[in-house]
Structure 1
Amino acid sequence: MIPQGRIQKLNNMDPREGDYVLYWMQASQRVTCNHALAYAIDEANRLHLPLLVYFGLTDDYPEAYERHYRFMVEGLLEVKKELWAMGIQFIVLKDTPSTGAVKLSEKAALLVTDRGYLSLQRKWRSEAAEAASCPMFQVESDVLVPADETSMKEEYSAATIRRKIERLIPEYALPLERRKMENFSLAISPAFPSIPFEDAESVMEELSVNREVSTVSHLYKGGYSEARRRLDEFIKHRLDFYADKRNDPSENLGSDLSPYFHFGQISPLEIYLSLKDHHSENKRVFLDELIVRRELAVNFVLHNPNYDSFASITSFARETLLAHQEDERPYLYTLTELEEGKTHDPYWNAAQLEMVHTGKMQGYMRMYWGKKIIEWTESPETAYETALHLNNKYNLDGRDPNGFAGVAWCFGKHDRGWKERPIFGKVRYMNANGLERKFDMKTYVEKVQEDIGRSINHHA
């Protein structure tokens, strides 16, 4: 049974007959532990209809490059294979996702979709709901507790949202069994032909995407099976050290799952249930980041219309940063200098180049990286724009609620005030000396240089 809090009807259309039930897959790009897919299968079985799963592939998604597309396509190829094994047809239209959904819904008895949180994702669903001629339902599956059940307003900090989430976890942390189709749908022939979707190379050739940022498939391959492998490896080898050493850049103790979360290739519910037999501070800290921090980020982009600009920074943080914007900066770097990792700071350079060449940056270094951009650019507004641009361009998990909230945190969002100082005012400050006191930074820099060398050799 899928909790009703995950299900929302998006239009007022009455039930009708149709040739199939349509699931427009967009945010939850997986078969395992996907509430939207499960709901669509339940409805198809109830109506004695086949199920058609559709994905809308546009090659001009804002700030998405070849790196991001390749990772996503690898995951979708796995989705297609799994669905066909279940007797479910999967088609990909090269079209604006909402437009393709509306076209396919013309012969559908019901349109089901998953939930996206960014403004463009919400716009797509709103457009489809308005234009679809059949009932449309949204089923939320990429957070443990549905966002609207947690809070209908912007939360101030992790502390304020944590209590709300924790009281609802027992209601929503329920296992989701994989459904079986009663009516196979492999023979459906929509009037709109799917693009060839047999292997990653041929799909990428079909797309006119920006190829300025190269792929990193040799380091991060997309898809549920790879996400599950990384999860199992993390639980077995690194979870026991997570609470004490997760921040250490010289160690590799993170889960490396954020790219898979971004594309909905693994469910937070599956991860939560995978840890049910573990009882430790390590588990508590990891779940706090997986659930509370991540869902605070979702809350942020849902309820702050300015989440992608400095205007999202309010209260003391905005006031204090603007009060100090005329303070003298010790260094000023251009966007090109920052992008190429050409600053005076070897630790910052390593973090930037790690992101450029591997598609991911170590978690603690993301905070340091963002703080220094504030210090080395001419204004808070410029710093915010720069940090988001670089994060979204190079990180596989860029353009994500966590990424937007992470950059905002560097500017004081979801944080408290600290001792006042130049440039930062009362916003938390970080420096290289602090890194050196806590961590073996020489090892971190050397490790990044090795990773960069492997990436360069791979693309040579």
Structure 2
Amino acid sequence: MSRDQRAEDNGALLAAQEMALARKEPLAVLFCLLPSFKGAPGGAFAFMLDGLIETARDLARRKIPLIVLRGDPVLEIPRWIGARGASALFCDFDPLREKRLWQREIAVRVSVPFFEVDGHNVVPCRRASFKQEYAAYTFRPKIRALLPRFLEDMPSLKDHPFPWSREDEGSRSLDRLVEARKNLPSPLPASGPPGSAAGRRRLDAFLAAGLTDYDGKRNDPNEEAQSGLSPYLHFGQISARRAALEVTRSAASDEAKEAFLEELVVRRELADNFCFYNEAYDRFEGFPDWARRTLDAHRSDERPLLYGPADLEEARTDDPLWNAAQRQMVLTGKMQGWLRMYWAKKIFEWSPSPEEALRRALLLNDRYELDGRDPNGYAGVAWSIGGVHDRAWPERPLFGKVRYMNLAGARRKFDVDAFCRSVPPLG
């Protein structure tokens, strides 16, 4: 268990249980706990650990232990598989480079059948498309054609009738999770409480009060129109398929449903497609040809302002909206979606090169966002700086043909001053 940290609506777990039941064998869930991952903040680890503690208890009620390993998964998982005499191994799908490398290396080191199940996407990434899609308009018809096949309820996880021989292994792992959690800060307040139950409550609250206005208000940072599901989806504490099913069954207008499903399914799964089929998803080389050419042509353009990494991290620029967006991210672990695009484009404008802008934006995103280290973040920053999933626009200095955004445009969309006043200072 890595990307989908929940007991219910978990395709990999259900597939493993189906095999275990057919063979009349016990079933265990492994989680390999790393001391750190790509600069993830303490709040993100706390959010994850609280969710895992809940999941461990959910699994224990079904007679399935969650066993926590510590260290390098490439070493620890094969070692555990061999020591316990396991007969098969199942894992979550993940399009990111590090996770895919782990899986390839683990596959070489184990002598049992090794299965990967994509339960994170509504339509499995490999099934949705066999190539990197150019943009949402090329990807959307493929997703829409497949949704009826995949948008259905999953069976419930059963109480497992074949007991694990080492009964104390799960309880010791739970103690290990609780101990690891003690030294971390509380989750950031804007995220809400962690865990699958909290994720489901957040979804229910959005269905009851937020979905109706989603289409018209989601791009206004002063409105509480977004779902708030992002961290729960990122850690797999709630299933995207479950969220999509409940949205389609709601009484909201077709326009509101379509707007939300566009973000939840089409755009989110387009990000997985980008990272899975483009090994350079976090590098300049991963930008489309037209964007690389236009950015190269404007490398020597004069930048009106240059800021160093500390100025950006501490929100010390001349742009009040950017500063407020950065403060919001640092203080709450989240940034409203439209603002994140504006935020990344200004980092490009203030950095000495596209490569450095990309590095800075991803570093800050992964350090402070609860949903950092995620395909959505990599695709979003690549869209903002490198035109990924976008088209060429009229040429202008510095940006070339990459889409431009500025403060005046933001003021036409929403009350910028009200938003700036709403975010407290750092420190």
TM exceeds 0.5?
A: yes
1:248 aligns with 2:226: no
**How far apart, CA to CA, are the structure 1 residues paired with 2:63 and 2:172?**
20
Matches within 5 A, 1:20-419: 25-106=1-82, 107-188=85-166, 196-198=173-175, 202-204=179-181, 215-220=186-191, 221-278=193-250, 279-411=253-385, 412-419=387-394
What is aligned with 1:17? none
Structure 1 SS opposite 2:66: strand
Q: Is the 8 A contact 1:157 1:414 kept in 2?
A: yes
Structure 2 SS opposite 1:219: helix
Structure 2 SS opposite 1:91: strand
**How far apart, CA to CA, are the structure 1 residues paired with 2:59 and 2:205?**
26
**Against the structure 1 CA distance between its residues 434 and 153, is the aligned structure 2 distance closer, same or farther, given a 3 Å change threshold?**
same
The total of aligned residue pairs comes to: 421
- Deviation of 1:217 after TM superposition, in Å, equals 3.8
- Deviation of 1:428 after TM superposition, in Å, equals 0.7
Matched letter for residue 384 of structure 1:
L
Show CA shifts across 1:150-170 (max 9, x none).
112111000111111111111
**How far apart, CA to CA, are the structure 2 residues paired with 1:83 and 1:149?**
29
Structure 1 SS opposite 2:100: helix
- Deviation of 1:99 after TM superposition, in Å, equals 2.5
**How far apart, CA to CA, are the structure 2 residues paired with 1:313 and 1:218?**
35
- Deviation of 1:179 after TM superposition, in Å, equals 2.7
Q: Tell me whether 359-368 or 435-444 shows the greater mean CA deviation.
A: 435-444
What is aligned with 1:432? 407
**Against the structure 1 CA distance between its residues 86 and 182, is the aligned structure 2 distance closer, same or farther, given a 3 Å change threshold?**
closer
Q: Is the 8 A contact 1:50 1:184 kept in 2?
A: yes
Structure 1 SS opposite 2:115: strand
Structure 2's unaligned 5+ residue stretches are none
**How far apart, CA to CA, are the structure 1 residues paired with 2:60 and 2:283?**
42
Q: Is the 8 A contact 2:366 2:372 kept in 1?
A: yes
**Against the structure 1 CA distance between its residues 215 and 381, is the aligned structure 2 distance closer, same or farther, given a 3 Å change threshold?**
farther
Structure 1's unaligned 5+ residue stretches are 1-24
Structure 2 SS opposite 1:108: coil
Q: Tell me whether 124-133 or 285-294 shows the greater mean CA deviation.
A: 124-133
Matched letter for residue 219 of structure 1:
A
Identity %: 43
Q: 1:447 aligns with which of 418, 422, 427?
A: 422
TM-score computed with the length of structure 2 as normaliser: 0.94
**How far apart, CA to CA, are the structure 1 residues paired with 2:337 and 2:129?**
27
Show CA shifts across 1:212-253 (max 9, x none).
xx6534332321111111111111111111111100011111
**How far apart, CA to CA, are the structure 1 residues paired with 2:280 and 2:315?**
28
Aligned-pair RMSD on alpha carbons?
1.9
